[in-house]
Amino acid sequence: MAGSGVSSVRIRRKHVPPSRIMESLGAEYGPVRWAPRYDPASELVYTILSQHTSDVNSHRAFGSLMNHFGSIEAVADAPVEEIEESIRMGGLAKVKAPRIKETLRIVRERVGSYDLSFLAEMPMPEAKAWLKDLPGIGPKTAAIILCFSLGMPAMPVDTHIYRVSKRLGLIGRKVSADAAHDILEPMVEPESVFAFHVYLIRHGRAVCKARRPLCNRCVLASGCPSRPLFE
């Protein structure tokens, strides 16, 4: 349904319309511009390092890995113990080092290199399916790689987006985080998906906080079905 327009999205429960979310949060947080973070293979490694740890830790671990090895090719060729040592500060190094090594091995086997830029030429469902076929890659990681490294209109649903979307009535209470990807992504035009993602995260961090949302400071309060729960 991507590309079919905001107005065509059918949400049965009471909710704040995605068009209003874009407008209000856009005014609140300002324009958002996409820029690539890493190349897709590096982003893939980064997402493995980011599992079950903070952004700070995963950033440090990735920096250490690349400082030590210099390239994804060198990481792929390195002994697993050496990878483990270089990512130790990121936590769970014993699990993540063999996962990185094995994932890169499979990429090399399937592609013949570590260049995943071909994914940008594929229809998005196929690109997602290709990535999800790798071990340990779910909808969120696949969306992160396609969105952050290739600028495709995929929407990673992190903990902030999941919480805020539920409160705004965009997804049902029982919808899983994995299932939320396919529901939220088509709610806005493809060119707005990245901004929608960024706005919901910013709003979740600054206002619609996990424990005590600041509803009296929220630009979406008039229409938010969850506001009465927090008053």
Residues of this chain that interact with ligand SF4 (CB under 6 A) are: 164, 167-168, 207-208, 213-215, 218, 220-221, 224, 226-227, 230
Pairwise CA distance, residues 146 & 127, whole Å: 8
Which amino acid does the sequence have at 83?
Answer: I
**Shortest distance (Å) from residue 162 CB to ligand SF4:** 13
C-alpha closest to that of 35 among 148, 121, 195, 118: 148
Residues belonging to the chain: 231
**Shortest distance (Å) from residue 21 CB to ligand SF4:** 9
Between 104 and 224, name the residue whose CB sits nearer to ligand SF4. 224
Which amino acid does the sequence have at 15?
Answer: H
Helices (H) and strands (E) in the chain, counts: 12, 0
Contacts of 82 (CB under 8 A, 6+ apart): 68
**Shortest distance (Å) from residue 209 CB to ligand SF4:** 8
Between 87 and 221, name the residue whose CB sits nearer to ligand SF4. 221
Between 89 and 210, name the residue whose CB sits nearer to ligand SF4. 210
C-alpha closest to that of 24 among 200, 206, 211, 230: 200
**Shortest distance (Å) from residue 198 CB to ligand SF4:** 16
**Shortest distance (Å) from residue 215 CB to ligand SF4:** 3
Between 44 and 157, name the residue whose CB sits nearer to ligand SF4. 157
CB–CB of 57/89 below 8 Å? yes
**Shortest distance (Å) from residue 26 CB to ligand SF4:** 15
Between 21 and 45, name the residue whose CB sits nearer to ligand SF4. 21
Helices (H), 135-192: 139-144, 150, 159-167, 177-184
Between 78 and 164, name the residue whose CB sits nearer to ligand SF4. 164
CB–CB of 171/140 below 8 Å? no
Pairwise CA distance, residues 140 & 174, whole Å: 18
